[in-house]
Amino acid sequence: MKEYKRTVLYVEDNELNMALMHHIFKKNLPSLLLLKAETAEIGLDIAVRRLPDLIILDIGLPGLNGYEALEWLKAREDTRHIPVVAISAFALRSDIERARETGFAAYITKPFQVSAFTDTVKTLLA
């Protein structure tokens, strides 16, 4: 029997950040399946096909940015319930407020503390 794994989609254009996240999930969140996309367009396609339990979205992306991708997800019946975490180096108070208003479930600024990050993921999946 195949074990059901909860899935998390990470949309990130920076290879190093993607590698770091891969490592964090392997080490700290091994029961979760991490799906990866390097653009919002690819990520949205995966989101619709796989309906992940959580999406982590980089804000600064080529093409559609994180805010636009979130709006797209929230406009669809089948994806609007998925919690989306913003992850970004833009850490101004106005950025965090904008992220909340747009409907992100949480906003994480880079560089982040691994334990705080994994706590956020676990809380949103609980």
Q: Which stretch binds Mg ion (CB under 5 A): 6-14, 29-37, 74-82, 97-105?
A: 6-14
Work out whether 103 is an interface residue with Mg ion (CB under 5 A).
no
**Ranges within 52-91 binding Mg ion (CB under 5 A):** 58, 60
Inter-residue contact 119 to 26 (CB < 8 Å): no
- Closest to Mg ion by CB, 95 or 125: 95
Give 36's strand partners.
Answer: 10
- Closest to Mg ion by CB, 38 or 125: 38
Sign of CA dihedral 124, 53, 105, 11: positive
The CA distances from residue 64 to 39, 73, 109, 114, in Å, are: 8, 12, 19, 27
By beta carbon distance, the residue nearest Mg ion is 60
Inter-residue contact 42 to 15 (CB < 8 Å): no
Q: How many CA atoms lie within 13 A of 70 on its CB side?
A: 26
Nearest-approach distance from CB 108 to Mg ion, in angstroms: 13
> Side chain identity at 21, as an amino acid letter?
M
Mask of contacts with Mg ion, 9-28, x by CB under 5 A? Answer: ----x---------------
Residues in the interface with Mg ion (CB under 5 A) total 3
Residues that bind Mg ion (CB under 5 A): 13, 58, 60
